[in-house]
Amino acid sequence: MNVFWFLPTHGDSRYLGTSKGARQVDFDYLKQVAVAADTLGYDGVLLPTGRSCEDAWVAAASLIGATSKLKFLVAIRPGLSTPGLAVRMAATFDRLSKGRLLINVVTGGDQAELEADGLHASHSERYEITDEFLKVWRASLAGEGVGNESGGYDFKGKHIQVKGAKTLYPAVQKPYPPLYFGGSSDAAHELAAEQVDVYLTWGEPPAAVAEKIADMRARAARHGRTLKFGIRLHVIVRETSEEAWKAADELIQYVDDDLIARAQTSFAKMDSEGQRRMAALHGGKKDKLEVSPNLWAGVGLVRGGAGTALVGDPQTVAARMLEYADLGIETFILSGYPHLEESYRFAELVFPLLNKGKVRSDEVALTGPFGEVISNDILPKVSQSQGVQA
């Protein structure tokens, strides 16, 4: 199981829908979150993309030197950049980070945002562009077509044409950094089945996720391929279930009906099937937010994209994650508000139950006692359940 955390380049807070409890998201804060994720043993971090965020590539590149093992899942945006530019960015990042780049392919579902950025294409056209873009991107990084008369990969599609595409500075990872992709439409499923390495879903109930995985496996098999799978979720974990559900209520305590209506109206204008499925889970109402055992849709009332959270005590949250894992999910991309504190909370409470993280009992002799030493020489008790001193 791979567990990723989230870098909140679009803002962070203790409460949704208000500036109360918010904090300045600058380089120092992002560095704190990234270093915490790296030292706690998370496998990677996802950076969001779009005009509501700081640029994902600049932010991720600024954190290469502050981390040692952490991988960065960074978006490429077909139609907003050329394949050649995206290839050079990916190869450079992968080389400078010594192979720590993962690629998140984002076709985009906000028509107004895309048009503001200069891309005027319909939903179906965007997937055509993405399909052609990835063919060129993959071939260029893999070194295809080097023996051609043009000296590189040649491609002539409906939207993209290149002649002699290649990279002089290849990526560390072969044949290229792994491609992650999420999308719920038929066009998205077909694209993922043919071209990507890891298919991502937002946190829908297990039955819905099982249907997606079955469909994706069948489509990939028709192309002679296999896929890996990941899921994007928020998490609210506390030592007791009662505390966790109280924290969920507190997270949206300043979200009123007017704000929900405004947010849902904005989301409804998008042509994203995934966003539509997220909205359908809660219907814009706060009264029935537990849409599956311990799966809470409150975040999606005012936040676009991933809108559900696993809520409960450590044992329950771990059990729900293992239920998804049994369906075929290998990568969990998690987040919690605020992201710095919650990265520690989740790692401390849930990692031991998943055999994750860097804190292990055999490290105690090297690192010293875990917890506060009592009265100068009394060591804190050793937790049998977690295998570390607590």
Same domain, 374 and 342: no
CA separation for the pair 276, 191 (Å, rounded): 19
Same domain, 70 and 216: yes
Structural domain contains residue 87? no
User: For residue 283, how many other CB atoms are within 10 A of its CB?
Assistant: 13
pLDDT digits (tens, 9 = 90+) for 6-34: 999 999 999 998 999 899 999 999 999 99
Distances from the Cα of 100 to the Cα of 44, 95, 181, angstroms: 9, 8, 17
Q: What is the mean pLDDT of residues 188-208?
A: 96
User: Are 335 and 5 in contact, with CB atoms under 8 Å apart?
Assistant: yes
Q: Which residue has the higher pLDDT, 30 or 282?
A: 30
CA separation for the pair 27, 46 (Å, rounded): 16
Q: Which amino acid is located at 260 in the chain?
A: I
Same domain, 65 and 187: yes
Residue 361 has a pLDDT of: 43
Q: 163-173: b or e for each residue (b if 16 or more CB lie within 10 Å)? A: eebbbeebbeb
For 244, the token pair is: 């966790």
Q: Looking at the 3D structure of the chain, how many domains does it have?
A: 2
Same domain, 224 and 183: yes
Percent of the chain with pLDDT over 90: 72
Confidence of residue 370 (pLDDT cuts 50, 70, 90): low
Residue ranges making up the domain that contains 41: 2-76+178-358
Same domain, 370 and 351: no
Residue 387 has a pLDDT of: 42
Structural domain contains residue 96? no
Quote the DSSP letter at residue 350. T
Same domain, 380 and 321: no
Q: Which amino acid is located at 256 in the chain?
A: D
User: Are 308 and 300 in contact, with CB atoms under 8 Å apart?
Assistant: yes
Same domain, 209 and 264: yes
Structural domain contains residue 186? yes
pLDDT digits (tens, 9 = 90+) for 44-80: 999 999 888 999 999 999 999 999 999 999 999 999 9
Distances from the Cα of 203 to the Cα of 109, 137, 253, 344, angstroms: 18, 29, 22, 22
Query: How far from the centroid of its chain's Cα atoms is residue 86's Cα?
Result: 19
Structural domain contains residue 130? no
Same domain, 374 and 311: no
Nearest to 49 by CA among 11, 89, 9: 9
Q: What is the mean pLDDT of residues 188-213?
A: 96
Q: Which residues neighbour 193 within 8 Å (Cβ) at sequence distance 6 or greater?
A: 216, 219, 220, 222, 223, 225, 227
Structural domain contains residue 101? no
Same domain, 227 and 264: yes
Same domain, 193 and 238: yes
pLDDT at 359 over 90: no
User: Are 211 and 181 in contact, with CB atoms under 8 Å apart?
Assistant: no
Distances from the Cα of 268 to the Cα of 111, 273, 275, 304, angstroms: 11, 10, 8, 10
Structural domain contains residue 10? yes
Structural domain contains residue 312? yes
Among 263-267, 291-295, 301-305, the range of highest mean pLDDT: 291-295
Same domain, 242 and 218: yes
CA separation for the pair 335, 237 (Å, rounded): 11
Structural domain contains residue 161? no
pLDDT digits (tens, 9 = 90+) for 336-353: 999 999 999 999 999 999
Distances from the Cα of 386 to the Cα of 276, 315, 334, 354, 366, angstroms: 40, 12, 21, 10, 18
User: Are 304 and 53 in contact, with CB atoms under 8 Å apart?
Assistant: no
Residue 366 has a pLDDT of: 55
Residue 213 has a pLDDT of: 97
- Sign of the four-CA dihedral 74, 81, 178, 330: positive
For 191, the token pair is: 């694209």
pLDDT at 389 over 80: no
Distances from the Cα of 247 to the Cα of 37, 336, 350, angstroms: 22, 11, 17
Decide: helix, strand or coil at residue 385.
coil
Same domain, 256 and 373: no
CATH number at residue 331: 3.20.20.30
